[in-house]
Chain A
Amino acid sequence: MVETQPSLAVTIGKLELPYPTLMGSGCYGSGKEFVQFANLRKIGAVVLKSVTRLPRMGNATPRLVHTPAGMLNAIGLQNPGIDWYLEHEVPKYARLPWRVVGSVAGFSIDDYAYVSERLAARDEIAAIELNISCPNVASEGETFACDPHLTSKVVRTCRGLTDKTLIVKLSPNVTDIAAIAYEAEAAGADALAVINTVRGMAIDVDTWHPRLGNVTGGLSGPAIRPIAVLAVYEVARVVTIPIIGQGGIETTRDALEFLLAGASAISIGTANFTDPRIPERIVEGLREYLWNRNLSSIDEIVGKANVGFATAHEYEGDEG
């Protein structure tokens, strides 16, 4: 008897991926940077570094600090601007044997619209991620993801400009991420990326200076994993669109946590800096996990961590 291998394929909006693993924006270049260090046959897609309307040199260095169980970064959206990007960078993605998702950042609704429309029009780009949650650009980058009305407005505007899969990347630096997620879905998002980095800071006690050139940064790595798992769990309760879970995933078991919390796919960022073979290990581990449990696809485990059916709000009600 021929037994069928479990399928790891997932569909995010119109985006069909052979594996449920995306490489996080800003962590993986276009993927070409990693060809000699990782097996790119075994990834779902690469989310490209965010591009803005105008070129940006990014923040002063240091841009990275290693911290307990993670790292802080404040790159500051260094990128060549959309015009240069379309002319010089995007053509290089035409014949890549893996899918690339464009990432758009901006400082106004008009910025997001301008960049999204142009980027989405290109065949090389399989889908669009709206990075409305960058914590590392002077006060404005995260504004959209911290306000349900602005989230709604920016998503609705960009939705009107493309039929391609629209992923909206949410910030954990909010009081109620579920409320933002709800607005993003209502405004036409096809999927949500949950979460971007958690704001943080480190200070050198010898020099009395902040350790990042930008003073503040975004924390990633295993340090934020429980924060991210909760965010996915809370978002999954209020939306029906797929969630791409991310935040400190390093192993198959970490990935499973996100899937069980309600993510349909996961994204790997900082772990690539620990060992570039991690994405391949995770997909092989997921296949084995499904096989050992006689499950035929990832869908069968998505959101199954509902034991108890108690929400955070209900627990709050029990206090005192």
Chain B
Amino acid sequence: MTTLETPSRVHATLVTDRRELAPGVVLLGLDAPELAASTLPGQFVMAVPPSGEAAATALGVYEAEARRASLLFFVTGKRTRELSELHVGERLDLVGPLGNGFDLQSSPRRVAIVAGGVGIASVLLPAQALIRAGSRVTLLYGARTSSLLVEAERFADAGCEVALATDDGTAGYHGYVTDLLERSHNHDLILACGPSPMLRAVARVAAQIGVRAQLSLEETFACGVGGCWGCVVPIARTSAQAPSFPPEPAGGSDAVNARICKEGPVFWSDELRW
């Protein structure tokens, strides 16, 4: 029998610190002991809008240490603006941690982490975990322009080698971050988080250079917990992450829709059928 418990994964947190890392890029530190203790690298939360208006916002958990968890996000619309306007001491309710994060169990020797723009928010925890476990980690970090390359030094401090790329050439390599990946060598594993075009390029490059890649996908979520089937992506039926589903009557397709929020958000690039 399914047991009913008081909701255990809804957390009332308090804003402890707030920094504007660049215009429109905000880091919110939160007193969230249960969330900080239970979040695995690559998992996300749904932030309940403080005004109660509009849907919750899915955000990667940036840091999680002791009592403190943090969220790093770009202000892109009404919902993120509302979150960006929270002050220290104010309350923010979070649902989570949600989804399946990165699979770091293979004990890779050398890992390339590819982050694009706000994708940086979901890769600090896996970088830290890998470094703790003895992996060498290279962060390949791209953005439109240098001012949006926030927190690069944080990754260097954590022990990552860091290579930067900008679309406009204002910092690092002038071009796409995936060009840097194409020229990299000797990685056993690639992790990536960023906009869909970047992830597709990472998948292509990963196949070219023969290294497996885990991609943290981005999609609009409604429920965030697997209840609405709004955020699907086709993946191979043979994937361990594939939900059980009968074949289409016509047959022949080896793909099945997985929920990005529930079975993902991280998928192996060679199992995606997008």
Residues of B within 8 A of A66 (CB): 54-55, 77, 79, 220
Cα distance, A167 to B13, chains bound together (Å): 41
B49, B53, B93, B225: which contacts A33 (Cβ < 8 A)?
A: B225
Find chain B residues with CB under 8 A from A80 CB: 245-246
Q: Are A34 and B53 in contact (CB under 8 A)?
A: no
Known: A63-B230, A88-B244, A274-B48. A57 touches B4 (CB 8 A): no
- Bound: A8/B271 CA distance, A: 49
Q: Which residues of the partner chain B approach A78 to less than 8 Å between Cβ atoms? A: 229, 232, 257
Interface size class, chain B: 35 or more
Q: Which of B45-62 contact A (CB under 8 A)?
A: 48-49, 52-56
Q: Which of B205-230 contact A (CB under 8 A)?
A: 219-230
Contacts of B232 in A (CB 8 A): 58, 61, 63, 78
Chain A residues lying within 8 Å of B48, measured Cβ to Cβ, are 274-275
Summarize A's interface: helix, strand, loop or mixed: loop
B231 touches A33 (CB 8 A): no
CB contact between A57 and one of B53, B221, B257 (< 8 Å): that residue = B257
Query: Shortest beta-carbon distance, B35 to chain A, in Å?
Result: 13
Sample (15) of A-B pairs whose CB atoms are under 8 Å apart: A26-B228, A33-B225, A37-B7, A40-B4, A58-B232, A62-B219, A62-B220, A66-B54, A73-B222, A75-B228, A78-B232, A83-B246, A97-B2, A274-B48, A276-B7
CB of A35 within 8 A of CB of B1, answer no
8 cross-chain pairs, A with B, having the tightest CB-CB distances, nearest first: A29-B227, A33-B227, A64-B230, A84-B246, A36-B9, A64-B220, A273-B222, A95-B1
Instruction: Answer yes or no: A55 CB below 8 A from chain B CBs.
Output: yes
CB proximity to B under 8 Å, residues A2-58: 26-29, 32-41, 49, 54-55, 57-58
CB–CB B227/A28 < 8 A: yes
> B5 on the interface (CB 8 Å rule)?
yes
Q: List chain A residues, Cβ under 8 A from B256.
A: 57
Complex CA distance for A58 and B6, rounded to whole angstroms? 34
B6 neighbours in A (Cβ, 8 Å): 39
Q: Which residues of B contact A28 (CB under 8 A)?
A: 223, 227-228
Per a CB cutoff under 8 Å, which of A39, A58, A71 touches B222? A71
**Chain B residues with CB below 8 A from A88, complex form:** 244
